[in-house]
């Protein structure tokens, strides 16, 4: 079974600075998807960024980028120019390419932005 | 237009009662899910349906019974509610694996409080 681990329960960063959230996963599959979801206090789960394992290029979405290291099974999220609206719980998630269509989530990292 | 909508947003009920949460998606997705988020924010899959057929049942007590009348709807009925059932329940939907955009879209969650 796949597992996802986020080793940082809480992180904080000064507004306008850069922060990196860590995520590692365990799988025997070669094809899969990885995601970062954001959950602000409103509770809504919002997709931040997506990475297909077969793509070597790291995904980027505006201020958000990932460092995908397939051999190391690592998938970190970098947030540049942090904004107050980035404050939220961030969840790393894994989904198989085929078979069981479910997301396996990490424990989450609570990100605080200091003004 | 809300992509995945679930009702109610909040539900407070007494132990032993039976309650239902409804979910509807207008994205045309084949697969729908129920996830449970506990008090520590951990998200775990409960059920997954593909075209009205149950494909994942993750060791959930029999008191929880999902029902999918059509592929756009997935309801969750809970019998004999217990204190430990208090959590946030998320409905989600996604296209099949292998699609380019394969992320799950989540409803706004239902906070269930059993007293």
Category of B98 on φ-ψ map: left (φ > 0), alpha (ψ -120 to 50) or beta: left
Which of residues 10 through 39 in chain A touch B, CB cutoff 8 A? 33, 35, 39
Q: Do the chains contact at A103 and B45, CB–CB below 8 Å?
A: yes
Cβ-contact A97, A31 below 8 angstroms = yes
Two tokens at A43? 């509770």
Residue A110 and residue B18: Cα distance in Å, rounded? 34
The closest CB to that of A97, out of B56, B97, B111, belongs to B97
The CATH code of the domain that includes A45 is: 2.60.40.10
pLDDT, tens digit, 9 for 90 and up, residues B16-33: 999 999 999 999 998 999
**Joined tokens for residue B58:** 């993750």
Residues B32/B71, Cβ–Cβ less than 8 Å:
yes
Contact call for residues A50 and A34 (beta carbons, < 8 A): yes
Are residues B12 and B115 in contact, defined by beta-carbon separation less than 8 angstroms?
yes
User: Does residue B53 carry a pLDDT above 80?
Assistant: yes
Q: Radius of gyration (Cα) for chain A, nearest Å?
A: 14
Q: Which fold has domain B4-114?
A: Immunoglobulin-like (2.60.40)
pLDDT per residue as tens digits for the range A18-69: 999 999 999 999 989 999 999 999 999 999 999 999 998 999 999 999 999 9
Q: Which domain holds residue A31?
A: 3-114
Best interface-test mutation with B: which of A1, A88, A91, A102 has the largest number of B CBs within 10 A? A102
């Amino acid at each position: 079974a796949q597992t996802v681990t986020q080793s940082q329960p809480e992180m904080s960063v000064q507004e306008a600075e850069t922060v990196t959230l860590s995520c590692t996963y365990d799988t025997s599959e070669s094809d899969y998807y990885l995601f970062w979801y954001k959950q602000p206090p409103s509770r809504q789960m919002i997709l931040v960024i997506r990475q297909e394992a077969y793509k070597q290029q790291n995904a980027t979405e505006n201020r958000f980028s990932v460092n995908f290291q397939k051999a190391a099974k690592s998938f970190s999220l970098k947030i540049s120019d942090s904004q107050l609206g980035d404050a939220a719980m961030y969840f790393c998630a894994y989904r198989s390419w085929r078979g069981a269509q479910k997301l396996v989530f990490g424990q989450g990292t609570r990100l605080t932005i200091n003004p | 237009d809300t992509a995945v909508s679930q009702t109610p947003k909040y539900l407070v009920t007494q132990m032993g009662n039976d309650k239902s949460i409804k979910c509807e998606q207008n994205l045309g997705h084949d697969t729908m899910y129920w996830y449970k988020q506990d008090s520590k924010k951990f998200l775990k899959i409960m059920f997954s349906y593909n075209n009205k057929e149950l494909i994942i049942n993750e060791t959930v007590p029999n008191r929880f019974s999902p029902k999918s009348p059509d592929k756009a709807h997935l309801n969750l009925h809970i019998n004999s509610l217990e204190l430990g059932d208090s959590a946030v329940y998320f409905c989600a939907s996604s296209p099949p694996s292998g699609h380019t955009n394969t992320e799950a879209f989540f409803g706004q969650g239902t906070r269930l409080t059993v007293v």
